[in-house]
Structure 1
Amino acid sequence: MADAQEIKQHFWKKLADSPFVMIGLEGDGQHSEPLTAQLDEDQVDTLFFFIGKDNRLASGGKAMVQFVAKGHDFFACLSGNARIDNDFAMIDKLWNKQVEAWFPGGKDDPNLALLRFDIDDAEMWETDMSLAGKVKMLFGGTIKSGDEGSHAKVGTTAA
C-alpha cells in the first residue's frame, strides 16, 4: 500500500496524463460539469480552467472537483474555492491549441475567463489491488482490507 506522499505524487501524474474532471459549486443546486484542468507546476494545490464569462462557475465560491483516472485505478475528490483570476501572464502561460479551439478570439476573446481552483483538502483512492484480489473480485470472492488499495485524506496535494 502506498503512503499519503506517494498517493499525492500519483495523483498529479495521473491528472497530468488525463486532465479531465467534474467541477461544481457547492450549494448552488447545479450539477457539476466536465472541464479540462490546466496544470502549472509552479502553483501548489491549484488547478486552472479556461471558461466563458457566462459559465455557471464564473460566480466562484466553495467548489468540489471529482477526478477519475483514465485507467479507473485512481479516484480523487478535491474541496476548495473557485474564483476568476484573469492574470494575463498565467493565461499566456497556460494557453494551448485545445483552449484556442474553444475561444476563437484567442487570448483576447471577450468571453474568456481563467477560473482558479485552490485546493483546501482532498481525499484520494488508488486501486493497487494484487492479482489475487482482482481474481477474487472477478469471481465474487471476499476482498480483505489489505487487498483493496491505498487511501489518503490530505490537507495539501503538494508532493
Structure 2
Amino acid sequence: MKNEKNISILKEMAESVRICMFTTFSTKDEFGSRPMGTAKIEDDGTIWFFTNEYSLKSKEVSKDNSVLLVYSDPSKNTYLTVKGDAELVDDRVRKESYFSPFIKAWFPDGIDDPRLILIKVVPHTAEYWDSSSSKIVVLFSTLKALVTGSTPDLGKHDTMSF
C-alpha cells in the first residue's frame, strides 16, 4: 500500500512538471546533466524518456546506469529528486505509444528514425518538497519564523522508497 502511495506522489509531481534535469555519471568521471522531457510514467513508477541512441548520454547510461532526475516547479514551490537505474530499450510498441509531436522536433522521421531509442528509469528512492503555497505565504512563514525564532513551515517533505 505504501509503495502505491509513493508511486502516486511520484507520478503526480513529475507529470505536473514534465521536464527534469537528467543526471548521469559521465565517461570522464564527472556528472553530466541535461534537461529531458518525460515521455511516460507507468503505473509501477517506471519513467520513460526518448533519446538519440548515439548521444553522450546513452554512452554514459551504458557505462554506469545510476541516474538522478531532478524535477522543479518554483512557481508551485514543489521539488522532486529521483534516484534510479537506467537502461536503453528499443521497444517499437512503446515508441508508438509514447511518441508525441514534441519528440518529432528532434526526430523528424518519427518512430522509424534509426537513432531513436528509449531510456527506461526504474526508481529506487525519491525525495520531495511540496509547499504548494503561494510565494507570499512562503514569505510570510519565513518572516514569522525569523521574528519568533522558529523554523518556517514550508509544507511537506519526505523520502520515499519503491
- Normalised-by-shorter TM-score class: 0.7 to 0.9
TM-score (norm 1): 0.80
Q: Deviations over 1:42-101 (max 9, x none)?
A: 4x2211111111222213211111110252411111111111111111111101110111
Equivalences for residues 35-54 of structure 1 within 5 A: 35-42=36-43, 44-54=44-54
Count of aligned residue pairs for this structure pair:
153
Q: Which moved more, 1:49-58 or 1:11-20?
A: 11-20
Query: Hey, what's the Cα distance between the residues in 2 that align with 1:45 and 1:6?
Result: 11
Alignment-mate amino acid for residue 149 of structure 1: G
CA RMSD of aligned residues (A): 2.9
The secondary structure found in structure 2 opposite 1:58 is: helix
Aligned to 1:100: 104
- Asked if residue 135 in structure 1 is aligned to residue 140 in structure 2, the reply is yes
- Post-superposition CA distance 1:79-134 (Å, at most 9, x none): 11111111111111101110111101110101111111110111111124597653
- Which is bigger in relative contact order (C-alpha 8 A, separation at least 6)? 1
Runs of 5+ consecutive residues of structure 2 not aligned to the other structure:
none
The aligned counterpart of 1:15 is: 14
**Counterpart amino acid of residue 75 in structure 2:** G
Bigger CA drift: 50-59 or 10-19?
Answer: 10-19
What's the counterpart of residue 113 of structure 1? 117
Q: Between the two proteins, what is the percent identity of the paired residues? A: 20
Counterparts of 1:7 and 1:81, CA distance in 2: 17
Contact 2:10 2:45 in 1 (8 A): no
Letter in structure 2 aligned against 1:16: E
**Counting helix residues as a fraction of each chain, which structure ranks higher?**
2
The 8 Å contact of residues 129 and 147 in structure 1, kept in 2 or not, is answered as: no
Distance in 2 of aligned mates of 1:92 and 1:125: 34
1:78 aligns with 2:79: no
Give the alignment's TM-score, normalised by structure 2. 0.79
2:32 is aligned with 1:31? yes
Task: Report if the CA contact (8 A) 1:11-1:74 is conserved.
Answer: no
Q: What are the Cα deviations for residues 15-68 of structure 1, in whole angstroms up to 9, with x where unaligned?
A: 2222000011136414211000112444x2211111111222213211111110
